[in-house]
């Protein structure tokens, strides 16, 4: 007999697949975002009701139902996405020995490459923003083609999700929390094949598996070379109460400098990262307070957002070093701050704090991740973008309170949870 969690997984996959057909589009003008949000909110309410009546005692999904739901997703399309065309294209270019960091999709030097769906790549004049290991992962599918490559990476990401869920259950994740995030993982990582899941998995292993210092640095480096956010886990290694010799510090410096040096000496200036860093704005938190509420100009708001994040980060470092030396709390707070203070917050970025929120059994952290769906209000309801920005970041202050950034009482509660799952 299927359990409630099995049925929820299959039901969610069916609805997302149906939505992907109803609102099918290669972009850039998508519609139907409000319907997706309505589904996630209704689904979440149903999950809370089921939990209230103690019908979610076991959050485990039987493998047969997990893969059945994944197969249903294979029958649909990436919902509100065309990024997969760029992922697969850049991976193909990279593995064919060409340079996606210097040659944008519209480059004449790449005109001889045949790729179905190339016309759907957005911002064709911009070069790649993804580190080499990320491009290698994408290239596994890119060499097959747009359709076969999409299916391959959907399958690989489904395996990553299954592994993550299995490990989370070993660490006693709350069944309520796991059920709440089913639509998120299905939409962002199985349907849409975003690489943030792969990058996060290296950090997840770094945090939850006992490793030598060399292996810890390797896991951080691999995450960093998939998505640059992975480097933010490095301070944890620095602050551990272990004797560190010159070899460790040299190795750590090489990890930090490896990506910038490769880009500087072998790649040079890139239009993609420069445009992303200086111009792109999407569903921000602190940035929108500055621009929409206080009337600060966009260029100044970027600078103020960066300064605010630096202050926030220093506060988190002080809190970790002298008050609450817990690695999960520290990294969780860091990634929360990155998402709130960044001018760009795509829904799939939430995995960086959401995965840790699941480990910490943080109610508000999980809800923050679930509410990332509000970023899609722009598709079909552009006038409601300010509402989407508010709702997407609504739970940020509650997350800080919950992990005792403001409350010592909640700090003790979180510490007790962490000691029970023996992560240290």
| Residues 326, 418 contacting (CB under 8 angstroms) | yes
SS3 state of residue 344: strand
Separation CA 186–CA 68 (nearest Å): 12
Summarised one tens digit per residue, pLDDT across range 94-146 is 999 998 998 999 999 999 999 999 999 988 999 999 999 999 999 999 999 89
More confident residue, 197 or 245: 197
CA atoms within 13 A on the CB side of 24: 7
pLDDT per residue over 217-273, tens digit each? 999 999 999 999 999 999 888 877 677 788 888 989 999 999 888 777 667 667 767
User: Binning pLDDT at 50, 70 and 90, where does residue 186 land?
Assistant: very high
Residue 278, Cβ neighbours under 10 Å: how many?
11
Q: In 3D, which of 420, 345, 325 has the Cα closest to residue 390?
A: 345
Which residues have CB under 8 Å from 9's CB, separation 6+?
61, 65, 66, 69, 182, 186
- C-alpha distance from residue 403 to each of 52, 158, 362, 365, 413 (Å): 24, 30, 8, 9, 8
Tell me the sheet residues that pair with 282: 344
* Pair of tokens at residue 198: 């792969």
Q: Report the alpha-carbon distance of residue 214 to residue 403 in Å, rounded.
A: 30
Mean pLDDT of 12-33: 96
Query: Mean pLDDT for the chain?
Result: 90
Q: How far apart are CA 64 and CA 159, in angstroms?
A: 13
Q: Would you say how long the chain is, in residues?
A: 424
pLDDT of 316 over the 50 cut: yes
Q: What is the pLDDT of residue 317?
A: 87
CB-CB contact of 195 with 154 (8 Å): no
What is the spatial distance between Cα 398 and Cα 206, in angstroms, rounded to a whole number?
27
Residues 6+ apart with CB under 8 A from 298: 281, 291
Among candidates 83, 61, 255, which has minimal Cα distance to 175? 61
Residue 222 · residue 206 · CB < 8 Å:
no
Q: Could you report the per-residue pLDDT of 36-92, keeping only the tens digit for each?
A: 999 999 999 999 999 999 999 878 899 999 999 999 999 999 999 999 999 999 999
Tell me how far the alpha carbon of residue 331 is from its chain's centroid. 14
pLDDT recorded at residue 266: 66
- What are 137's two structure tokens? 């992962």
| Statement: residue 366 has pLDDT above 50 | yes
pLDDT at 281 over 60: yes
Q: Please, which pLDDT band fits residue 276 given cuts at 50, 70 and 90?
A: low
CA–CA separation, 354 vs 203, rounded Å?
13
Token output for 340: 């709130």
> What global pTM score does this model have?
0.94
The predicted structure's pLDDT at residue 422? 45
As a whole number, mean pLDDT of residues 322-332 equals 82
Residue 240 has a pLDDT of 74
Residue 423's pLDDT is 45
Q: State yes or no: pLDDT of 410 exceeds 60.
A: no
């Amino acid at each position: 007999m299927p359990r409630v969690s099995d049925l929820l997984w299959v039901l969610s996959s069916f609805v997302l697949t149906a939505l992907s057909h109803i609102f099918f589009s290669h972009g850039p003008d998508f519609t139907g975002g409000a319907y997706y949000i309505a589904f996630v909110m209704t689904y979440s309410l149903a999950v809370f009701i089921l939990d209230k009546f103690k019908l979610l005692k076991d959050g485990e999904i039987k493998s047969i139902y997990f893969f059945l739901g994944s197969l249903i997703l294979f029958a649909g399309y990436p919902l509100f996405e065309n990024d997969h065309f760029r992922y697969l294209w850049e991976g193909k270019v990279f593995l064919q020995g060409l340079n996606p960091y210097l040659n944008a999709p519209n480059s004449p030097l790449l005109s001889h490459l045949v790729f179905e769906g190339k016309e759907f790549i957005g911002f064709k004049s911009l070069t790649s923003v993804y580190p080499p290991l990320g491009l290698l992962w994408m290239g596994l599918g890119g060499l097959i083609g747009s359709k076969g490559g999409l299916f391959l990476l959907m399958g690989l990401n489904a395996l990553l999700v299954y592994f993550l869920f299995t490990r989370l259950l070993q660490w006693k994740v709350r069944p309520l929390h796991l059920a709440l995030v089913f639509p998120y993982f299905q939409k962002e990582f199985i349907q849409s094949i975003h690489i943030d899941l792969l990058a996060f998995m290296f950090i997840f292993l770094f945090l939850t598996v006992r490793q030598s210092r060399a292996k810890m640095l390797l896991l951080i480096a691999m995450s960093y070379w998939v998505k640059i956010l992975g480097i933010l886990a490095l301070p944890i290694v620095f602050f551990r109460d272990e004797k560190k010799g010159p070899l460790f510090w040299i190795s750590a410096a090489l990890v930090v400098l490896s990506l910038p040096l490769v880009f500087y000496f072998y790649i040079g200036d890139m239009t993609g990262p420069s445009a992303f860093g200086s111009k792109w704005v999407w569903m921000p938190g602190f940035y929108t307070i500055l621009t929409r509420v206080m009337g600060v100009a966009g260029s100044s708001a970027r600078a103020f957002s960066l300064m605010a994040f630096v202050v926030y980060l220093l506060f988190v470092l002080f809190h970790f070093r002298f008050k609450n030396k817990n690695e999960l709390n520290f990294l969780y707070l860091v990634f929360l701050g990155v998402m709130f203070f960044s001018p760009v917050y795509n829904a799939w970025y939430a995995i960086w704090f959401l995965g840790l929120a699941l480990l910490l059994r943080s109610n508000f952290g999980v809800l923050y991740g679930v509410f990332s769906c509000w970023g899609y209000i722009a598709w079909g309801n552009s006038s409601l973008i300010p509402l989407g920005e508010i709702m997407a970041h609504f739970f940020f202050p509650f997350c800080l309170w919950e992990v005792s950034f403001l409350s010592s009482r909640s700090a003790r509660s979180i510490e007790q949870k962490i000691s029970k799952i023996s992560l240290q």
